[in-house]
Chains A and B, each alone.
Chain A
């Protein structure tokens, strides 16, 4: 199914709406991960509205492009975007993390549109690699997009997957790194340094695109460029701000895994109005 692409302005509006939903869901749930959900909001919104070939009414359409969120703790973002695209009703969002909910605290296949569970970090890029190899064997043209985190990139499994995708020359994979620079215990560079990241991915045989992860223009161009790369996988290193869109959350490590209080949520929603 082809989608009608949105304009940059419309995408920015959608992303703002997605951020509002993230805040509302997390405030209602009382726990969860706002920082990394907000930082990747522009990347995932653009993907679902302008890039992915998918059909929300038929989530199992065999030829769909695959998206997998390896940094599973940012699932409020995934759920908000899936609801915005009509995979399920928006009222479900307010059941996040509650007993019996369609929306588990970390991704689970009971949610329409979720391809694979995640939450234990480092495995999602490998899952995407499997999808990529399946497409190759079946001579299908679908593409595979995997969102990974920067803290997550400290997992060895990420680099095993990076090595294998390079080795198998999987040009139908596009990894998206939400490089917000923060993890639970502090700044990534203080906890366990990742740099030089672009050089590392390049050395593993990947095409690297370095962008501002909050510029819709740059995001869309990067996705387009990734489609044209042949013989190697692509990673979009998206420089983002943790908690983006809410002034008192931006760059604040503490909001990695703490939900906003009701008061904080009200304040945040005013900023995102």
Chain B
């Protein structure tokens, strides 16, 4: 079993490291700092940390004001609140102004688990993807989270970084380059696209498929915007069809982003694994992935059905 890490632990530690190097970094949270792990930064740099209480809209617009004065602002809360509750503030005060605000949203997706539907962000990528200027990164594990946070801090402009709640296994992979898709496995028959914590499920599926003699390419789209259209179009030419799996609604997320690219120039069959017009519910992450057809077996079966 490979190393298992909480992405949010890595986020908190990375913030502290960046905060030491860059005195311009300010961190905001809305009463969830012990969960999002911005508490680590707060402990180290109390004068550059502000807790806004349970008031996400105010927090987002305040982040804009701080950024207007030259600060690089990291803002954290759960993904449901960061994307949904404060969407208009993110749109009008952050994205429209093109301010240097990094929204790092934790507890995204079904794998929040027992908290249930109200706390499971299944539409946040869609909500951020419709905003001009918003860069979007969905890291797949602990080390990639550190890279994503460092990149977000180093590039001016708004970012949305999506993290999960649960521990995730570390995946061996090539170097992280912002905006460049990561090919986790080479293959010629089908391309599986994924992002975030489902990367590991997809990797298992590729191994199982390989044992059955099926050559599947696996691409981790950690950067949803700017999207690596080149890697997607190449895959459309070199493999017969796509399977896209994401811990998100099938509407507006990674699958939509990929479909938007290929449907124009290189039409290819795109099979979507994600949440289909349903709310989430309570349960263990593993139970929920099974219920919503997002396990490695589901990915494998989808590939098999696509081939036949």
- Residues of chain A having any CB pair with chain B under 8 Å: 62, 66, 68, 108-109, 115-120, 122-124, 126-135, 137-138, 156-157, 160-161, 163-164, 167-168
In the bound complex, how far is the Cα of B47 from the Cα of A252, in angstroms? Answer: 48
The smallest beta-carbon distance between B49 and chain A, in angstroms, is 11
- Residues of chain B having any CB pair with chain A under 8 Å: 26, 47-48, 50, 52-53, 55, 57-71, 73, 88-89, 91-93, 96-98
In the bound complex, how far is the Cα of B95 from the Cα of A108, in angstroms? Answer: 12
Q: Which A residues are CB-close (under 8 A) to B65? A: 68, 116, 126-134
Given the known A-B contacts A123-B92, A137-B26, A137-B47, are A130 and B62 also in contact in the complex, defined by CB atoms under 8 Å? yes
Query: Which label, helix, strand, loop or mixed, suits the secondary structure of the B interface?
Result: helix
The smallest beta-carbon distance between A99 and chain B, in angstroms, is 18
Given the known A-B contacts A123-B92, A126-B89, are A161 and B62 also in contact in the complex, defined by CB atoms under 8 Å? yes
Q: List 19 A-B contacts (CB under 8 A).
A: A109-B98, A116-B68, A116-B97, A117-B96, A117-B97, A123-B61, A123-B64, A123-B88, A126-B60, A126-B61, A126-B89, A127-B62, A127-B65, A130-B64, A133-B50, A135-B69, A157-B58, A160-B55, A164-B55
> Chain A: which residue is nearest B95 at the CB level?
A117
In the bound complex, how far is the Cα of B53 from the Cα of A100, in angstroms? Answer: 41
Query: Which label, helix, strand, loop or mixed, suits the secondary structure of the A interface?
Result: helix
The smallest beta-carbon distance between B103 and chain A, in angstroms, is 15
Q: Which B residues are CB-close (under 8 A) to A131? A: 65-66, 68-69
The smallest beta-carbon distance between B157 and chain A, in angstroms, is 13
> Chain B: which residue is nearest A124 at the CB level?
B61
B89–A115 CB distance below 8 A: no
B92–A168 CB distance below 8 A: no
Q: Which A residues are CB-close (under 8 A) to B63? A: 130
Given the known A-B contacts A134-B70, A134-B71, are A119 and B92 also in contact in the complex, defined by CB atoms under 8 Å? yes
B68–A120 CB distance below 8 A: no
In the bound complex, how far is the Cα of B91 from the Cα of A40, in angstroms? Answer: 27
B58–A127 CB distance below 8 A: no
Given contacts A123-B61, A127-B68, list 19 more A-B pairs with CB under 8 A.
Answer: A116-B65, A124-B61, A127-B64, A127-B93, A129-B61, A130-B67, A130-B73, A131-B65, A133-B50, A133-B65, A134-B68, A134-B71, A135-B69, A137-B26, A137-B47, A137-B48, A138-B69, A161-B58, A164-B52
> Chain A: which residue is nearest B54 at the CB level?
A160
**Which of B57, B65, B69, B88 gathers most chain A CB within 10 Å?**
B65
A129–B62 CB distance below 8 A: yes
Q: Which A residues are CB-close (under 8 A) to B58? A: 126, 129, 157, 160-161, 163-164
Q: Which A residues are CB-close (under 8 A) to B71? A: 134, 137
Q: Which B residues are CB-close (under 8 A) to A132? A: 65
**Which of A126, A131, A163 gathers most chain B CB within 10 Å?**
A126
B92–A117 CB distance below 8 A: yes
Q: Which A residues are CB-close (under 8 A) to B69? A: 66, 130-131, 134-135, 138
In the bound complex, how far is the Cα of B71 from the Cα of A66, in angstroms? Answer: 15
